[in-house]
């Protein structure tokens, strides 16, 4: 799978000498910008070596929306019925973690699962937009690991704890950049556990396309710049052990790398 034949721009947030900023990648340099990444961003004329900055999560969402049962291959494997509308949950914005930073699980929460996914980053406020208009409200795309405390999810038989199982601090690593100019339907998601390929699936297998997702979700709630829609995952998810490293890679975006640890 290849990216669309458009100019791809990769936006990053970074920390440098105690100051946070944002800009675009140009080879091994960061072209520093000022203003608003999702608005009137302008280059400052300054460049920084990529090796000299620390990358931060490229978006700071007011909400993170995650999809369940949105890939047909996984639905077929699990014997899930076709949903008539998107099935989704919310992850706490506090679960967002930086590229390269540790995923830290609280003690006693059992099996912790990785889920490599494509995330849609909203760039323009969207409220009840049509499917035709939807992509006008999308800024770009990034890699995400939708980490889940699998045993917490159904611990109480009376109430499925989706938000709790997915909202622990650090359970939403994303990055390393937000790429614009991509055709999501032409991408594939690869997830590696300690260097071994565990997931490799095409985004084209998605049930609800990106324009349809943005449109339908915007009728449920207003989507703000920086908000994330996690498109769901497919076959190959698995559990992590302390000390293992998970990498989510999408062509045109790059590779998101995080080590898994447990709290002391």
Could you tell me if residue 46 is inside a domain? Answer: no
What range does the domain containing 208 cover? 56-262
Asked which of 5-9, 39-43, 120-124, 259-263 is least confident by mean pLDDT, the reply is: 5-9
Residues 6+ apart with CB under 8 A from 77: 235
Could you tell me if residue 32 is inside a domain? Answer: no
pLDDT at 130 over 80: yes
pLDDT at 4 over 50: no
Could you tell me if residue 153 is inside a domain? Answer: yes
pLDDT band at 263 (very low <50, low <70, confident <90, very high): confident
Positive or negative torsion for Cα 37, 91, 81, 234: positive
> What mean pLDDT is predicted for residues 191-205?
98
Distance CA 41, CA 23 (A): 9
Positive or negative torsion for Cα 156, 159, 164, 165: positive
Q: CATH number, domain at 210? A: 3.90.850.10
Tens digit of each residue's pLDDT (9 = 90 or more) over 168-187: 999 999 999 999 999 999 99
Could you tell me if residue 211 is inside a domain? Answer: yes
pLDDT at 1: 31
Point out which residues pair with 188 in neighbouring strands: 202
Could you tell me if residue 48 is inside a domain? Answer: no
> What mean pLDDT is predicted for residues 39-47?
95
pLDDT at 2: 38
pLDDT at 108: 85
pLDDT band at 262 (very low <50, low <70, confident <90, very high): confident
Could you tell me if residue 37 is inside a domain? Answer: no
Q: How many domains does the chain have?
A: 1
pLDDT at 5: 46
Residues 6+ apart with CB under 8 A from 74: 80, 232, 233, 234, 235
Distance CA 209, CA 264 (A): 41
Tens digit of each residue's pLDDT (9 = 90 or more) over 83-112: 999 999 999 999 999 999 999 998 888 999
């Amino acid at each position: 799978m290849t990216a669309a034949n458009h100019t791809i721009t990769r936006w990053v947030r970074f920390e440098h000498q105690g100051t946070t900023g944002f800009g675009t990648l140009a080879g091994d340099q960061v072209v520093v910008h000022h203003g608003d990444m999702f608005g009137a961003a302008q280059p400052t004329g300054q460049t920084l070596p990529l090796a000299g900055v620390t990358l931060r999560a490229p978006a700071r969402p007011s909400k993170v929306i995650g999809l369940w049962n949105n890939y047909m291959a996984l639905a077929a494997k699990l014997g899930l019925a076709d949903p008539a509308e998107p099935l989704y949950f919310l992850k706490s914005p506090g679960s967002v973690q930086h590229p390269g930073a540790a995923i830290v699980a609280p003690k006693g929460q059992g099996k912790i699962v990785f889920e490599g996914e494509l995330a849609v980053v909203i760039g323009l406020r969207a409220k009840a937009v049509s499917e035709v208009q939807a992509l006008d409200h999308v800024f770009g795309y990034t890699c995400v690991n939708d980490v889940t405390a699998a045993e917490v999810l159904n611990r109480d038989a009376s109430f499925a704890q989706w938000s709790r199982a997915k909202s622990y601090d650090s359970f939403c690593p994303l990055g390393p950049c937000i790429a614009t100019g991509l055709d999501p339907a032409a991408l594939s998601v690869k997830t590696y556990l300690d260097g071994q390929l565990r997931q490799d699936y095409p985004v084209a297998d998605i049930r609800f396309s990106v324009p349809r997702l943005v449109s339908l979700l915007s009728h449920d709630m207003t989507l703000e710049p920086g908000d994330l829609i996690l498109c769901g995952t497919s076959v190959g998810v698995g559990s992590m052990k302390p000390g293992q490293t998970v990498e989510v890679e999408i062509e045109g975006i790059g590779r998101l790398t995080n080590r898994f640890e447990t709290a002391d």
